[in-house]
Structure 1
Amino acid sequence: MSNLDLRPTAARCGGEASEGPVKQLLTGRLVPLGESTVVRRLLPTLGRRMVGAWCFVDHYGPDDIADEPGMQVPPHPHMGLQTVSWLHQGEVLHRDSLGSLQTVRPRELGLMTSGRAIAHSEESPREHARLLHGAQLWVALPDTHRHTDPAFEHHPHLPEITAAGLHATVILGELDGATSPGTTHTPIVGADLTLHEGTEHRLPLDPGFEYAVLSMTGGVDVDGVRVEPGSILYLGCGRRELPLLARTDASVLLLGGEPFEERLVMWWNFVGRSGEEIAEAREAWQAGTRFGEVHGYAGDRLQAPELPPLPLKPRGRER
């Protein structure tokens, strides 16, 4: 998925990671995406740039797209990151410059590793379901892997965890002994949790990770804090378990990982280490080099916005 902001600022990726547990509730800002989709942008946001290596989080829907084209994101570039497509309702057709063509459906993992450079598009199929609901997330690649070959993975079957009133799907990383087949390059976890009304559960966590919980549907209390759909609760580090209480049938995404220590520049659809690197990537995309070509999308590719007038400086986090 692309950041379609025509005047993107340089995100100060990182920021301070809490030494211990905290409860920081964040709400998203509405951002138009393509022709008819509006997303709630939750990361990066004021006061919180990353959770582990998770550096970008959009939540969208549920949207009634029965008489709409739905998601229509033209070909655009990425570098230095992984994209994670996660659906609760609807379908998204993925195309990329590797030649991949894949429809991603609910609770299936679409994982694209940009490495040094890739381009892709995302769209609702012409014949699509009435509702579209999901999340799009980015994972920053560490310096040792950010120049790797680009790749796309589709995992229709993921490991699951069940307990009384709880069902969890492990999207990335490992949770409670279950490990996703998705490729990771830093210690990280992402999981989809579905809870029945009235369920109380204490989910085991890694105290070396920092965590956040994104509410997708329903009413759920996370460590005593009500988290409404389309908002995210940052939880900090040092937790060994997470108390959950479902006020209604509910679904949340758990995101976590070791605090990401590297200094980054994140601008538009690029994650780099210097302003010069970002400028070179923009120039290559505009010139039609390096990122390859996406075939089959019925429309023009995105043009990169202008760089900001001030220098793009790498930022880090302090723990």
Structure 2
Amino acid sequence: MSNLDRRPAARELGGLQDTAAGPALDLLPGKAVMLGESTRVRRLLPTLGRRLVGAWAFVDHYGPDDVATGAGMQVPPHPHTGLQTVSWLLEGEVHHRDSLGSDVRFRPGELALMTAGHGIAHSEQSPVPHPRYLHGAQLWVALPDAHRETVPAFEHHTTLPGWTSDGLTTTVLMGSLGGAVSPGTAYTPLLGADLALDAGADVELPLDPDFEHGLLVSSGAATAEGAPLERGAMLYLGTGRRSLRLRAAEPSRLLLLGGEPFEERLVMWWNFVGRSGEEIADYAEQWNAESDRFGAVEGFDGNRLTAPPLPPVQLKARGRQG
């Protein structure tokens, strides 16, 4: 999924200055952002005071939206570099096409994982016809320097591991949790897991104390270590936790994200992740010039996006400042 902001701010990511040295309970409210003309999302990362959770660099939560009489998601071809996109649906269906020739429809409970690496282009649309509701999350993972020029790839996993116990059903998207290991390719120590809580659930979830974690409420309402959570908000949990107590008075869906704090400094602007302003400017120029770096998305009926004008100030990587 693209950042369709035509005046995107440069995000300075990486480093350990703002990584919690221990457990935290910081509430991160979502910011409403329009994705094109059809989809309103809640942007949880990056946000004021928090740019990363592990290598997770971008988190949009959308829906549930009634798209029965509308076009639903319509994201034209656009580029990415230096990151992975992780697409997760709770309701609906999305048609993914990319410049590798992938042409896939993915549904709730399936992992669509795209590694941009050196460069890729893709589009995402609600198919015709499509289900009435659209609800999910779009996430980006920053690639470390050793892998950011890797050959682009797309993975579609229709079955994911997990377990059910004491009113909690887990599905592991990325990394591992409680012995369940995702088939998705990861390039840093990482965790992404969907947590479905029954009404009345009261559970203790094991965590890796070397990771920092964040918790997004996709639906319902719950508490984490006694802190109340509401739909569309994210709770930053810090580091050093070996477990997390979750309670839910009503059926709820949560998205747990975690990973080792990302030490490298980088710049994120529009749909690119790089290490300097000069790199970002070069990516944008190559995309607008239709360079072979990104390729072409076949089968999309419409125009591709153009990179917006660069900001008037130099883009610099300075770390994790809020």
CA offsets, 1:83-118, max 9 Å, x none?
000000000000000000000100100000000100
Pairs within 5 Å for 1:78-157: 78-157=80-159
Q: Distance in 1 between matches of 2:140 and 2:20?
A: 21
Pairs within 5 Å for 1:237-276: 237-276=239-278
Q: Distance in 2 between matches of 1:21 and 1:160?
A: 25
Aligned residue in 2 for 1:3: 3
Gaps of 5+ in 2: none
The offset of 1:316, in angstroms, is 2.0
Amino-acid identity (%): 64
Contact (CA 8 Å) 1:35, 1:71: kept in 2 or not?
Answer: no
Q: Distance in 2 between matches of 1:134 and 1:169?
A: 14
The count of aligned residue pairs is 318
Aligned residue in 1 for 2:40: 38
Aligned residue in 2 for 1:315: 318
Residue 210 of structure 2 aligns with an amino acid whose one-letter code is G
Aligned residue in 1 for 2:217: 215
Aligned residue in 1 for 2:237: 235
TM-score (norm 1): 0.99
Contact (CA 8 Å) 1:260, 1:317: kept in 2 or not?
Answer: no
Pairs within 5 Å for 1:11-50: 11-14=11-14, 16-50=18-52
Residue 307 of structure 2 aligns with an amino acid whose one-letter code is A
Contact (CA 8 Å) 1:35, 1:70: kept in 2 or not?
Answer: no
Residue 215 of structure 2 aligns with an amino acid whose one-letter code is V
TM-score (norm 2): 0.98
Contact (CA 8 Å) 1:80, 1:115: kept in 2 or not?
Answer: yes
The offset of 1:35, in angstroms, is 2.8
Residue 309 of structure 1 aligns with an amino acid whose one-letter code is P
Residue 173 of structure 1 aligns with an amino acid whose one-letter code is G
Contact (CA 8 Å) 1:13, 1:44: kept in 2 or not?
Answer: no
The offset of 1:306, in angstroms, is 0.3
Q: State the superposition RMSD in angstroms.
A: 0.9
Q: Distance in 2 between matches of 1:30 and 1:37?
A: 10
The offset of 1:34, in angstroms, is 2.3
Q: Distance in 1 between matches of 2:212 and 2:309?
A: 34
Q: Distance in 2 between matches of 1:313 and 1:44?
A: 16
Pairs within 5 Å for 1:151-190: 151-190=153-192
Q: Distance in 1 between matches of 2:314 and 2:37?
A: 31
Gaps of 5+ in 1: none
Aligned residue in 2 for 1:196: 198
The offset of 1:317, in angstroms, is 4.1
Contact (CA 8 Å) 1:222, 1:244: kept in 2 or not?
Answer: yes
Runs of 4+ in 1 over 6 A off after TM superposition: none
The offset of 1:260, in angstroms, is 0.1
Aligned residue in 2 for 1:76: 78
Contact (CA 8 Å) 2:50, 2:320: kept in 1 or not?
Answer: no
Q: Distance in 2 between matches of 1:189 and 1:143?
A: 19
Of 255, 279, 282, the residue aligned with 1:280 is 282
